[in-house]
């Protein structure tokens, strides 16, 4: 792949216009507008300039904050008390409750300064109202499937949703 460099990126404070100059080998371009418009233009530029990236995009999986909000806006909310699942709790399996709570936490982490993407076992128990043994079992199952990542700090386990977990829970709701 040719050398790619972003020469300038600035936010024009007068009208919140993003201006980006990009060069990729001999190809050069400048984009300006809202951040969303500029991002789309840069993606189009790169896709046309480097066809291999378009092929790689077909097998890559990643969820932007916008993707998460669009996929889960009917199921979670970020409240003053923290991220919460608002979907009908009676119709959700325990795994779905846990996964949705972790998705809500990830959205909060990406949209609120200082919010971590991780939740402790105690926090998950409080927000999901699941029996501690059931919660531990569901987290173990979700972890074995690769849907949840576990990290232990100072003898406290913390959990966050993985990219594959987001795809799984998203597909679960598409099926319903």
Using pLDDT thresholds of 50, 70 and 90, give the confidence band for residue 26. confident
pLDDT at 14 over 70: no
For 50, 52, 54, 148, the CA distances from 59, given in Å and listed in that order, are 16, 12, 9, 21
pTM, two decimals, is: 0.69
% helix / strand / coil in the chain, to the nearest 5?
50, 25, 25
Rounded Cα gap, residues 142 and 144, in angstroms: 6
Report pLDDT for 9: 37
Per residue in 42-83, pLDDT tens? 888 877 777 766 677 778 888 999 999 999 999 999 999 999
Rounded Cα gap, residues 150 and 117, in angstroms: 11
Structural domains of the chain ordered from first start: 4-59 (no CATH), 65-175 (1.10.10.10)
């Amino acid at each position: 792949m040719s050398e790619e460099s972003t020469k300038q990126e600035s936010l024009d404070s007068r009208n919140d216009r993003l201006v980006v100059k990009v060069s990729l080998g001999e190809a050069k371009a400048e984009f300006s507008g809202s951040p969303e418009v500029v991002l789309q233009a840069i993606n189009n530029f790169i896709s046309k300039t480097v066809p291999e990236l378009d092929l790689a995009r077909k097998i890559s999986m990643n969820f932007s904050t916008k993707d998460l909000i669009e996929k889960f806006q009917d199921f979670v909310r970020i409240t003053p008390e923290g991220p919460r699942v608002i979907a009908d709790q009676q119709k959700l399996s325990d795994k779905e409750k846990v996964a949705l709570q972790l998705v809500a936490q990830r959205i909060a982490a990406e949209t609120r300064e200082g919010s971590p993407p991780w939740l402790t076992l105690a926090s998950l128990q409080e927000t999901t109202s699941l029996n501690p043994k059931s919660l531990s079992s569901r987290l173990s199952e979700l972890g074995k499937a690769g849907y949840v990542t576990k990290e232990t700090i100072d003898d406290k386990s913390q959990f966050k949703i993985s990219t594959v977990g987001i795809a799984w829970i998203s597909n679960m709701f598409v099926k319903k």
